[in-house]
Structures are given as C-alpha cells and as structure tokens.
Amino acid sequence: MYGIRKPFTVAGFDGLSWGGMDYKAILIISQVIGYALSKFIGIKVISEMGRSSRAISIIILTGLAEGALILFSIIPAPYNLLLLFFNGLPLGMIWGLVFAYLEGRRTTEILGTILSISFIVSSGFVKSTGKILMNTFHLTDFQMPWVTGMVFFIPLVILVWLLDKIPEQTPEDELLRTKRIPMNKQQRKKIFREFAPGLVVLTIAYMLLTIYRDLRDNFAAEIWKSIGVTGNSMIFTWSELPIALIVFMVMGSLMLISDNRKALRINNYIILSGFILIGLSTFALKIGLISPMIWMILLGLGTYLGYLPFNCLLFDRMIAAFGSAANAGFFIYIADSFGYLGSVGTLLFKHFNAKGISWFNFLITTSYSLAMTGSLLIIISLWYFKFRLRDHSARIQLITNSEINTVTT
C-alpha cells in the first residue's frame, strides 16, 4: 500500500506552485484530505465489514489508487492535484481491512508489530525506490509515483491472497482476547458512550502524533536536506531500520503479557515514553549533545513508540480487558479520522501562517509542544482507565456474587 501512497513525497516538483503555495505541499494536502475522509467513512465500513469481502476490497481499493497515479502523470498541473485526493481516498480503508485479520489473537502483538514495522521501513524504502527509479530511468516527478506503485502492486496481490488464508480466531483466542464481531450502528453508539472520556483523550493524543509523524514523513527529503544530508537515496531506508528493530522488540514483547489489563496499562506507558523521548531528544539537539542525524532517528523512534500502539495493540487490549462485544477497527478509525484531519489543518496553518519557517525549525518547535501536551494526555488516560477497570471489576464481582447466592438459594 505504501508503494502506492508514499512515492510522490520524495519528488521535489521544483518551480511549481499554485495559488501562492508550493505545489508539493498542495499535493500532500490533497492526498491527506482524501485519506482523512476515508477514515471517517471507515468508522462505519470497517467496523461493519465481514471477512468474506476483505481481500477483494483491498485489491480493488489499491487498484483504484494506482489508477489515480497513472492519471496524475497524464493530466497536466494544476488540474492533476485532484488525482492525489482520489489516490488517498481508497487507501485510507486498507489498514483496517488488513488488521481485521490479525486482531483478537494470542499472537496479535507479534503479528500487529510485524505489520506496523512494515510501514516504518516501507515508508523509507518506497522513497528510496522512487528516487532510484528517477535517477536510473530519468523519470519525471509525475511519472515516478505510478511506476513505483506498479513495482509493488503485484507483490501486494500475492500477499493479500496469503493474508486471506489466515484462519479465524480459535476458541482459546476468544477466551483470552474476546470474540471480535462486526458492529452495527447501535453497537457503535453504545460502546462509544461507554468509553467516551477515555476515547476523546486518546484521540487527541493520537491526533498530535499523526500530525507530527506526517510532518516528519512527508517532508523527510526537505528535512534531511536542511541538516546537510543530500545525495543519498538510501538514507530514507537506513534511518528507519534501527527504529523498526527497537519498536519490534518493545511491542512484540507485549505478547508475553497475558493479563489484558496490565497490557493496556503498559501500552499507555509505551506511548508516554514516546512523547518524552521526542522532547528530550530535541532538547539534547538544542544543547549540542547529539547530531541532527541522531536527532532524526530518535524523533522517529519516539514517534513510532507513541503511534504504533494506537494502530493495533492499544485498542485490541482495551476490548479484551473489558470483554466488550466490538472490533478494534472501530476505535482505530475514530482516532485515525481525527488524526488525519489534524494533519490537514497543520499543513494549511504552516503554509498560510508560518510559511517563512523552515521545516527543520518548524519540527523543532512542534516537538516541544507535542512532548508536553501528549504526555499530559496519556497521564490522564492512565488515570481514567485505572478507575474504569476498577469499576468494571467491581461490577463483575457483584454479578458473580449474585449468581453464587442464587445457586445457593
């Protein structure tokens, strides 16, 4: 999917603008608007979809996105900017469709972490591939995205076919992690009301992380250039590998924790550590303790330590901890929809109100705000779920005692 979504971000589109805005920034905004809209639609679609429609839906949606890139290379600027909107619109559904195969299992942590690691590395690898294709075949900024997409499309089809062979939850999975079900409108309303305060806090925290991740990811070429790293196509990949390795070890180890309540709490602590790392690494850069290259890697590590739990593990464990009749896709897409909406707003703010600030300086300023606000939100989340779990345990105990008394009587 990233081979179809991300390659255009490595292109410069130098000398192009529209309405006084840098053309690349407009293209990113156009795609993210489509992606954000898809997330709002996905709250209903992903939470309701059964297994039988998932694989074909993934193939059709990625095919539509690749078709938009082909038209993007044919239709001249500025008219082709709408094609990035139609590229992002179908792709926003893919994550929920894929994760639906993996949630609610004893092995969800390891499977979800591998899946998540793939988009840490793939984002950089896709950019490197796009840059190499441009240099090797002298592709234009407009041709490179669809050519790169085609390189990854056939492997995608094969892997989706294999993914569809994954068996359903076993009875033991259902016992340990709760059975996952499609959700209708009434079920969605009921469970949202049940967890509304905690979901609002977590969604705001995730919104901040999404904004930050998108800034670092979409403008990686400009940021690396601003710190003096140029002419190395593989920097986008090499810089993400240590991040992927560390995140894999941290998140994968959660599989060893069978207690869902404890795992939910630890997921919050991992997110909190990500926010703190972003703030501390930026301060270390400011006082000269680390180099800009190490700073970029630490930012990526902090970002993904915060970001990845939201994409799969946090909500998967939350459902299991409370024994809710639900699926993780519903919660993920609530957070995702507002996350990408915030990303669009930030891009527009940067280009209309902070145009003179370099992406490097903008990222530094954003880092401090993210670290402080995000840490506070996760502390509130920890407090909220501590008391919700306590109340839930008390209700379960009350019901159990009542049933024992009834049997005794």
Q: Using DSSP, state whether 87 is helix, strand or coil.
A: helix
Q: What angle do CA 119, 121, 122 make, to 5 degrees?
A: 60
- R_g of the chain computed on alpha carbons: 22
Separation of alpha carbons 257 and 370, rounded Å: 29
pLDDT attached to residue 401: 53
pLDDT attached to residue 354: 66
Residue 332 has pLDDT above 60, yes or no: yes
- DSSP code of 355? T
Residue 405 has pLDDT above 70, yes or no: no
Q: What percent of the chain has pLDDT over 90?
A: 48
Q: Give tens-digit pLDDT for 185-225.
A: 999 999 999 999 999 999 999 999 998 888 887 777 777 77
Q: Are the C-beta atoms of residues 221 and 12 closer than 8 Å to each other?
A: yes
Instruction: Kindly indicate the confidence band of residue 282, based on its pLDDT and cuts at 50, 70 and 90.
Output: very high
Closest by CA position to 340, among listed 206, 209, 218, 210: 210
Question: How many of the other CB atoms lie within 10 Å of CB of 165?
Answer: 8
CA atoms lying within 13 Å on the CB side of residue 243:
32
Helices and strands (H and E) in the chain: how many: 17, 2
Residue 400 has pLDDT above 60, yes or no: no
Separation of alpha carbons 141 and 34, rounded Å: 21
Q: What are phi and psi of 18, to 5 degrees?
A: -155, 130
Q: Where are the domains of the chain?
A: 2-167+183-408
Q: Give tens-digit pLDDT for 335-352.
A: 999 988 888 888 778 777
Q: At 251, which amino acid appears? A: M
Q: Are the C-beta atoms of residues 113 and 252 closer than 8 Å to each other?
A: yes
Instruction: Kindly indicate the confidence band of residue 360, based on its pLDDT and cuts at 50, 70 and 90.
Output: confident
Q: Write down the pTM of the prediction.
A: 0.82
Instruction: Kindly indicate the confidence band of residue 1, based on its pLDDT and cuts at 50, 70 and 90.
Output: confident
Residue 253 C-alpha from the chain's centroid: 20
Q: What are phi and psi of 268, to 5 degrees?
A: -65, -40
Q: Using DSSP, state whether 100 is helix, strand or coil.
A: coil
Instruction: Kindly indicate the confidence band of residue 397, based on its pLDDT and cuts at 50, 70 and 90.
Output: low
Measured CA distances, 124 to 3, 152, 239, 262, 310 (Å): 10, 14, 8, 33, 21
Q: How far apart are the first and last CA of the chain?
A: 60
Query: 2-167+183-408 adopts what CATH topology?
Result: Growth Hormone; Chain: A; (1.20.1250)
For the residues of 5-28, what is the DSSP string, one character each? HSGGGG---TT-EETTEEHHHHHH
Question: Would you mind telling me the total number of residues written for the chain in this entry?
Answer: 409
